[in-house]
């Protein structure tokens, strides 16, 4: 017998499997007149830079971690967003800064000026300027029917979780952005203003002078840094308008985090389509009330994005739920079924939350759903403890915090 807890997060539907595409390669050309010594320095420097840990990314190459706002969330997220300077003495930090400055100087010696970027850039301290509005206001219509209903066949002693989307669901849906660009003809501004309502676009005019870093390490020009991160996030097969939207979101995220990537990582050799898309919007950032917006994003969001305050703790006006109409028809992460044995669930919950569960598995997981979005806002665990829904889903290894759960006796 299966027991369904509370109301459903969404109608249980099947999964469409999309064929993967392989990205080409491309790079920003290095000035042929650079001397051999500088080339050797660049090669040595490149080898020292920290590489991305692929275990932090979902199968869509989309980062599914987040910026923790409490010690509890930081513990759930593990080391992905840990401060690399934590625990170091002032002398060690000073030595590390000196080494980084030396690397930055070496990078400046071997990095050419980008002509298109130079045309966009302005003198220091001039401040950001508004970006020309190109929003198309394209109509969203002719949305296909939802995918086929998924069949859940749990064995006795198993939990069955049906998840919708991949990641926390706050902010922009990467797959949703691609669907809007592909099926509704939206441009990058349509996408950004939809997923980050009440924000506005400005060009910072800083791309010639700023030094963006990945994991606090220098990683090249602004274009190189943004292109590497965008390539890692969405590859080179998305609609170019979706890639441009991702580029603006990545650049804004870097600026919000003091010119550092924080929990984002790059991928080498982005294809030319990614470089061109990033260059076409380089320097553009989303603002809210004269400050950089926190442009969070995840792979997909299960029919609508989540309210930030329900997933995390902070309440940003522009990180509120908006529709993502094409997910039910096209998202490959819509209606994923995951089976977990009761004993594995027990171990995961008891380890994460330091409690001892009862002998009634059907009482262990009592979701409390958002009335607006269908995401699991909170989970009451065995009548003992109530926790946030998304960190709970992470602790169990689920794709999303928007889920239904059943237990079979």
pLDDT, tens digit, 9 for 90 and up, residues 163-184 = 999 999 999 999 999 999 999 9
**C-beta atoms surrounding 153 within 10 Å:** 11
Lookup: tokens for 170:
């706050």
Quickly state the pLDDT bin for 404 (edges 50, 70, 90): very high
- Are residues 132 and 120 in contact, defined by beta-carbon separation less than 8 angstroms? no
Q: What is the DSSP string of 17-41?
A: PPPP-------PPPPTT--HHHHHH
Q: What is the mean pLDDT of the chain?
A: 80
* 87 vs 213 pLDDT, higher one: 213
Least confident span in 93-102, 224-233, 263-272: 93-102
- CA nearest to 221, candidates 266, 161, 253: 266
* Residue 134, helix vs strand vs coil: coil
How far is Cα of residue 153 from the mean position of the Cα atoms in its chain?
32
* 74 vs 331 pLDDT, higher one: 331
Strands 2-4 and 129-130: unpaired
pLDDT at res. 289? 96
Strands (E), 170-311: 172-173, 200-203, 213-214, 217-218, 284-288, 291-292, 297-298
How far is Cα of residue 285 from the mean position of the Cα atoms in its chain?
16
* 29 vs 302 pLDDT, higher one: 302
Report how far residue 65's alpha carbon sits from residue 76's, in angstroms, rounded to the nearest whole number. 10
Is residue 41's pLDDT more than 60?
no
Quickly state the pLDDT bin for 379 (edges 50, 70, 90): very high
Whole-Å CA distances, 141 to 138, 144, 185, 188: 9, 9, 11, 18
Quickly state the pLDDT bin for 2 (edges 50, 70, 90): low
Segment 210-267, tens digit of pLDDT: 999 999 999 999 999 999 999 999 999 999 999 999 999 999 999 999 999 999 999 9
pLDDT at res. 101? 64
* Residue 55, helix vs strand vs coil: helix
Report how far residue 75's alpha carbon sits from residue 71's, in angstroms, rounded to the nearest whole number. 6
Report how far residue 21's alpha carbon sits from residue 375's, in angstroms, rounded to the nearest whole number. 31
pLDDT at res. 105? 55
Quickly state the pLDDT bin for 9 (edges 50, 70, 90): low
The domain locations on the chain are 2-16+148-170+329-408, 36-135+172-295
Whole-Å CA distances, 176 to 32, 234, 322: 41, 12, 11
């Amino acid at each position: 017998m299966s027991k369904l807890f509370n109301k459903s997060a969404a109608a249980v539907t099947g999964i469409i499997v999309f064929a993967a595409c392989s990205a080409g390669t491309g790079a920003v050309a290095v000035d042929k007149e650079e001397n051999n010594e500088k080339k050797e320095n660049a090669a040595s420097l490149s080898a020292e830079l920290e590489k991305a840990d692929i275990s932090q990314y979902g199968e869509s190459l989309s980062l599914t971690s987040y910026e923790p706002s409490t010690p509890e969330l930081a513990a759930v997220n593990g080391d992905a967003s840990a401060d690399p300077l934590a625990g170091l003495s002032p002398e060690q930090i000073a030595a590390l800064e000196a080494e980084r400055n030396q690397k930055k100087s070496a990078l400046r010696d071997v990095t050419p000026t980008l002509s298109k970027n130079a045309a966009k850039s302005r003198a220091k301290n001039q401040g950001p300027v508004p970006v020309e509005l190109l929003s198309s206001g394209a109509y969203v219509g002719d949305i296909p029917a939802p995918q086929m209903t998924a069949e859940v066949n749990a064995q006795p002693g198993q939990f069955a979780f049906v998840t919708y989307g991949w990641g926390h669901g706050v902010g922009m849906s990467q797959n949703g952005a691609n669907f809007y660009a592909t099926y509704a003809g939206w441009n990058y501004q349509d996408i950004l203003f939809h997923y980050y309502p009440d924000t506005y676009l400005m060009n910072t005019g800083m791309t010639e002078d700023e030094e963006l870093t990945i994991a606090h390490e220098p990683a090249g020009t602004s274009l190189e840094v943004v292109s590497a991160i965008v390539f890692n996030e969405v590859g080179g097969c998305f609609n170019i308008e979706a890639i441009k939207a991702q580029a603006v979101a990545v650049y804004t995220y870097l600026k919000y985090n003091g010119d550092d990537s924080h929990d984002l990582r790059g991928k080498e050799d982005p294809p030319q389509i990614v470089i061109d898309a990033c260059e076409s919007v380089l320097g553009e950032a989303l603002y809210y009330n004269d400050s950089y917006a926190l442009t969070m994003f995840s792979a997909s969001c299960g029919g609508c994005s989540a309210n930030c305050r329900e997933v995390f703790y902070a309440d940003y006006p522009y990180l509120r739920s908006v529709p993502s109409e094409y997910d039910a028809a096209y998202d490959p992460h819509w209606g994923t079924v995951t089976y977990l044995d009761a004993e594995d669930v027990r171990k995961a919950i008891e380890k994460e939350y330091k409690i001892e569960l009862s002998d009634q598995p059907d009482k262990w997981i009592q979701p409390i759903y958002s009335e607006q979005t269908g995401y699991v806002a909170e989970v009451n665990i065995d009548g003992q403890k109530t926790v946030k829904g998304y960190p709970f889903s992470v602790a169990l290894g689920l794709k999303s915090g928007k889920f239904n759960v059943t237990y079979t006796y």
